[in-house]
């Protein structure tokens, strides 16, 4: 059966989301983006909304919401309260279901710096009404992510400084050791809910200090051994 020209055009227009890999010519093909909610005690306390002993929970962002290092995040529609959240990103290289914590790190390809951009006012309203978080979390350009550093080059991350600067001023400052659920526990728990596959990206939660940004702001996320991620907040898209 002959494929219609319209379908051929759709296939040609579809773009695979990929991220650069430090020291490699090949790029990392992103499959799904999972995010861990509330994984730093101080962030839970500043949001005043959860039991610190709650098990991890997850939400997703569209794969095409990735913005590369040096990119621009257009100020999104419907919100007056766009917040930054800097996070360690885990890039999955080997999939699986019900992965034991003791072998979970064998499934990690590498790590990166990411931002979970959030329409906080819309997220807050969704919570009040018992609705899903997508409108506050899963919008266009909501997942800036830097280049991926392979495990072979950095090792794994159980500790290390994590910071976010806005226009040169530090707004978020913490350490990866403060995560309530560490990387092996996150992978194990998530794989009990979904089958993980190569290409999955997992944002592991943010330290305290989240706050609003406006067009023109320059954001710089840093994690020890991973360098920096630079993003500019742009005007709303026409």
| CA atoms within 13 A of residue 20's CA, in its CB half-sphere | 12
Cα–Cα distance for residue pair 75/189, rounded to 1 Å: 33
Q: What is the pLDDT of residues 17-53, one digit of tens each?
A: 999 999 999 999 999 999 998 788 765 566 556 665 5
Grade residue 185 by pLDDT with cuts at 50, 70 and 90: very high
Going by C-alpha positions, the residue among 117, 46, 121, 115 that lies closest to residue 80 is 121
Q: Is 65 a member of any domain?
A: yes
3-state secondary structure of 136: helix
Q: Is 77 a member of any domain?
A: yes
Of 4-8, 54-58, 134-138, 162-166, the least confident: 4-8
pLDDT of amino acid 79: 98
pLDDT of amino acid 139: 98
Residue ranges making up the domain that contains 186: 17-234
Q: What is the pLDDT of residues 192-221, one digit of tens each?
A: 999 999 999 999 999 999 999 999 999 999
Cα–Cα distance for residue pair 195/96, rounded to 1 Å: 6
pLDDT of amino acid 40: 83
Grade residue 6 by pLDDT with cuts at 50, 70 and 90: confident
Whether the per-residue pLDDT at 5 is higher than 90: the answer is: no
The 3-class secondary structure across 21-70, one letter per residue, is ECCCCCEEECCCEEEEECCEHHHHHHHCCCCCCCCCEEEEECHHHEEECC
pLDDT of amino acid 4: 66
Mean pLDDT for the stretch of residues 69-77: 98
pLDDT of amino acid 210: 96
Residue-averaged pLDDT of the chain: 92
pLDDT of amino acid 60: 97
Whether the per-residue pLDDT at 12 is higher than 80: the answer is: no
Mean pLDDT for the stretch of residues 95-120: 98
Residue 35's DSSP bridge partners are 59, 203
Strands (E), the chain: 18-20, 27-29, 33-37, 57-61, 66-68, 72-74, 82-84, 86-92, 108-115, 118-119, 143-145, 149-150, 161-166, 169-175, 201-203, 211-212, 218-223, 227-234
pLDDT of amino acid 41: 73
Q: Is 10 a member of any domain?
A: no
Of 13-17, 51-55, 78-82, 205-209, the least confident: 51-55
Q: Is 3 a member of any domain?
A: no
Q: What is the pLDDT of residues 114-172, one digit of tens each?
A: 999 999 999 999 999 999 999 999 999 999 999 999 999 999 999 999 999 999 999 99
pLDDT of amino acid 52: 58
Q: Is 12 a member of any domain?
A: no
85: CATH:
3.90.850.10
Overall number of domains in the chain: 1
């Amino acid at each position: 059966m002959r494929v219609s020209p319209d379908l051929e055009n759709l296939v040609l227009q579809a773009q695979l989301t990929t991220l650069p890999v430090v020291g490699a010519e090949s790029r990392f093909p992103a499959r799904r983006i999972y995010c861990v909610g509330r994984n730093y005690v101080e962030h839970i306390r500043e949001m005043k909304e959860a039991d610190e002993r709650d098990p991890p929970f997850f939400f997703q962002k569209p794969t095409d919401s990735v913005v590369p290092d040096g990119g621009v995040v257009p100020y999104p529609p419907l919100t007056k309260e766009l917040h930054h959240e800097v996070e360690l990103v885990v890039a999955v290289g080997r999939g699986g279901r019900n992965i034991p914590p003791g072998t979970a790190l064998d499934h990690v390809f590498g790590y990166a710096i990411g931002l979970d951009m959030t329409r906080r006012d819309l997220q807050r309203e969704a919570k009040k009404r018992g609705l899903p978080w997508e409108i506050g979390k899963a919008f266009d350009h909501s997942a800036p992510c830097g280049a991926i550093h392979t495990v072979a080059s950095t090792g794994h991350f159980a500790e290390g400084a994590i910071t976010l600067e806005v226009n040169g001023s530090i707004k978020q400052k913490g350490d990866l050791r403060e995560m309530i659920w560490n990387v092996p526990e996150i992978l194990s728990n998530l794989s009990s809910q979904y089958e993980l596959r190569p290409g999955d990206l997992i944002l592991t939660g943010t330290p305290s200090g989240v706050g609003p940004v406006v067009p023109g702001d320059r954001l710089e996320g840093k994690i020890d051994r991973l360098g920096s991620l630079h993003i500019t907040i742009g005007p709303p898209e026409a």
